Amino acid sequence: MGIKLRTFGKKSHKAMGKKLSKNSRSGESLLALVLFAGIFTLLSLSLVSFKFSGKNSGENFFSRTTAAISKTFGNIFSSGEKKPLFEIDLNNAQEKNTNAIKKVSVGTAEEKTSPEDNKSAAEVKNLPSPTVSENKKFSPAATESVQKKIPECDISKTGNSNHKIIFSEINWMGSKTSAGDEWIEIKNNSGEETDLNGWQIISGDRNVKITFGPGDKIKQGSLYLLERTDDYSAPNVPADKIYTGALSNSGEVMKIFDSECNLSDEIDASSKWPAGDSSSRKTMERSYVDFSWHTSASEGGTPKKENSAAFAVKENMIFAAPGGQMTSENQNENSSSENENNPGTQNQENNGSGRILIAEIQITGGSGKSDNDFIKIFNAGGGPTDISGWQLKKRNVSGTESSVKLFSSGSVVANQVYFTWANSENGFASTIGANTSSTQYLSDNNSVALFDNSGNLIDAVAWGSGHSSPFAEISPYPANPGANQILSRKSVNGVLQDTDNNENDFEIK
């Protein structure tokens, strides 16, 4: 009986022990399940807070929750070392959530790569949270400057051209391949590089309207080629700019305006082109001496090359010889005797450094514009000439002498280029693009002279009458130029005339 009881007791205790053990494990499993569910809920809430409450605030809540769970339940399922129930790499979570934010903002990484993509988690942590405005389609910021719309200059505008940029050659007839193979060549006559942004070339019928933009520049003394429609109008010569619009074979009015719509150059060929030949396809070329036009010696012209020479062989007159040197017939025989008989004649040798002549003079712009005075000197050939220290002087009708301008250091006149002095009053010098200026005036019955830096007389011109000891070569020009009229040196076939006699060499235009 007792054995039974012990036996029963043992079995009963064993069964009860098993039952209790089983119940205990079930309770522990249930408790673990409840705890796991609670932790999962807290984690879910923290992640929601992390995503929608801002990264920093979400991180703080998440960290506090994990620490509390670890502190309260750390010993339930482990012994010895106390650890948090879960180990989560917050840095990885930050990176993943940061990437998720980026994708919400700008799409996939392939769609946009920014410097922030390569930053560390610590750097990314300081980035602002995404907003609705950041969910726009990515559009990179424009990096190129946008050219403003430039108003068209008034083609009817008249006045003195400053000749800073000039028409050099015009192919108005096309080529034997196509009548549409037209082109225009311009030249920088200013003595310095010129930014063409805002400049315009316009024809009278407005078929040709060329507006220069940012980056369009022309170097000092350089030629610039504009070809119609494509880069094949001037074969084997690269165009600097392409334009559209046809030139009429019967003639055109063409004008060049600077960015302020000041007139730089013009040609009035409204009745007919002054030069060029349609049948032989020879272009119309410009003389850099007096801006007259002549027909090119070459079929197809001379695009982006110096124009063909215009020859003039007349007694005691300078003419263009091969190689660009300027000579004169009977020069050697006549020069010494003329210099002896006329102390006012020029003392200038053709030594290859250039031959400088006074080419144009204006003494008034009309009523209220008596300060619209200028003198243009011209390098007629031989090479660039340094005129640093050279001086323009004037004498009035009574012979009183004064300085017009002492040219500053670095003043250089390139071959076949003008150099202009103008009166600086009321901004006139700037208006015509003068190279140098002063407040001196020119008047009726005056004379002017150019001296080099050694005091040698280079050239002299007098106009009007009644002079007492004028600067002059033999005889003054007998009349005074009127309002906006120019006392201009004559030319024959594009070559300046210099017979050392003002009366013969000049005319009023």
Is 90 exceeded by the pLDDT of residue 374? Answer: yes
Statement to judge: residues 114 and 174 lie in one domain: no
What is the secondary structure of 235-299 as a DSSP string? Answer: TTS--SEEE--PPPTT--EEEEE-TT--EEEEEE-SS--SS-BTTTTEEEEE-TTT--EEEEEEE
Identity of the residue numbered 288:
Y
Burial 222-256 (b: 16+ CB within 10 A, else e): ebbbbbbeeebbbeebebbbebeebbbeebbebbb
Of the candidate ranges 18-27, 151-160, 234-243, 285-294, the one whose mean pLDDT is the lowest = 18-27
Would you state the pLDDT for residue 203?
95
Average pLDDT in the 387-404 region? 94
Average pLDDT in the 428-449 region? 90
Is 70 exceeded by the pLDDT of residue 315? Answer: no
Statement to judge: residues 425 and 345 lie in one domain: yes
Would you state the pLDDT for residue 495?
80
Domain end point (choices 135, 151, 179): 135
Would you state the pLDDT for residue 192?
84
Residues 179-208 pLDDT 10s: 999 999 999 988 789 999 999 999 999 999
What tokens does 102 get? 């980026």
CA angle 51–56–61, rounded 5-degree value = 75
Matching residue, tokens 């796991």: 36
The residue count for the chain: 509
Statement to judge: residues 173 and 119 lie in one domain: no
Matching residue, tokens 């309260």: 72
Q: What is the DSSP letter of 329?
A: B
Of the candidate ranges 54-58, 241-245, 370-374, the one whose mean pLDDT is the lowest = 54-58
What tokens does 85 get? 């129930």
Residues 9-41 pLDDT 10s: 444 444 445 444 555 555 566 666 766 776 776
Euclidean distance between the first and final Cα of the chain, in Å? 155
Return d(Cα 204, Cα 327) in angstroms, integer: 40
Which CATH number do you get for residue 231? 2.60.40.1260
Contact indicator for 477, 298 with CB cutoff of 8 Å? no
Residues 463-485 pLDDT 10s: 999 998 899 888 999 999 998 89
What tokens does 481 get? 């130029």
Residue 220, judged by CB atoms within 10 A of its CB (0-12, 13-18, 19+), counts as: middle
Statement to judge: residues 122 and 181 lie in one domain: no
Statement to judge: residues 331 and 474 lie in one domain: yes
**Percent of the chain predicted with pLDDT > 90:** 43
Q: Which one, of 390, 508, 367, 501, lies nearest residue 449 by Cα?
A: 390
Would you state the pLDDT for residue 283?
95
Statement to judge: residues 130 and 197 lie in one domain: no
Would you state the pLDDT for residue 354?
61
Of 355 and 363, more confident: 363
Of the candidate ranges 10-24, 188-202, 227-241, 331-345, the one whose mean pLDDT is the lowest = 331-345
What tokens does 321 get? 């010889």
Is 50 exceeded by the pLDDT of residue 430? Answer: yes
Is residue 207 one of the residues assigned to a domain? Answer: yes
Domain end point (choices 135, 152, 180): 135
Statement to judge: residues 273 and 187 lie in one domain: yes
Is 60 exceeded by the pLDDT of residue 434? Answer: yes
Of 228 and 98, more confident: 228
Is 50 exceeded by the pLDDT of residue 71? Answer: no
Q: What are phi and psi of 44, to 5 degrees?
A: -65, -45
Statement to judge: residues 88 and 199 lie in one domain: no
Q: What are phi and psi of 469, to 5 degrees?
A: 60, 60
Is residue 156 one of the residues assigned to a domain? Answer: no
Would you state the pLDDT for residue 446?
95
Exposure on the CB side of residue 194, measured as CA atoms within 13 A: 24
Return d(Cα 152, Cα 368) in angstroms, integer: 29
Is 70 exceeded by the pLDDT of residue 120? Answer: no
Statement to judge: residues 352 and 224 lie in one domain: no
Is 50 exceeded by the pLDDT of residue 406? Answer: yes
Of 2 and 425, more confident: 425
Average pLDDT in the 351-358 region? 69
Return d(Cα 331, Cα 347) in angstroms, integer: 13
Average pLDDT in the 254-265 region? 94
Would you state the pLDDT for residue 496?
84
Contact indicator for 484, 366 with CB cutoff of 8 Å? yes
Statement to judge: residues 347 and 482 lie in one domain: yes
Domain end point (choices 135, 155, 180): 135
Of 348 and 399, more confident: 399
Statement to judge: residues 492 and 349 lie in one domain: yes
Would you state the pLDDT for residue 353?
52
Of the candidate ranges 35-39, 263-267, 412-416, 447-451, the one whose mean pLDDT is the lowest = 35-39
Owning domain of residue 459: 318-508
Return d(Cα 90, Cα 100) in angstroms, integer: 15
Is residue 279 one of the residues assigned to a domain? Answer: yes
Residues 133-163 pLDDT 10s: 333 333 333 334 445 577 899 988 877 888 8
243 forms beta bridges with 228
Q: What are phi and psi of 385, to 5 degrees?
A: -125, 125
Average pLDDT of the chain?
73
Statement to judge: residues 347 and 432 lie in one domain: yes
Our count of domains for the chain comes to 3
Contact indicator for 116, 127 with CB cutoff of 8 Å? yes
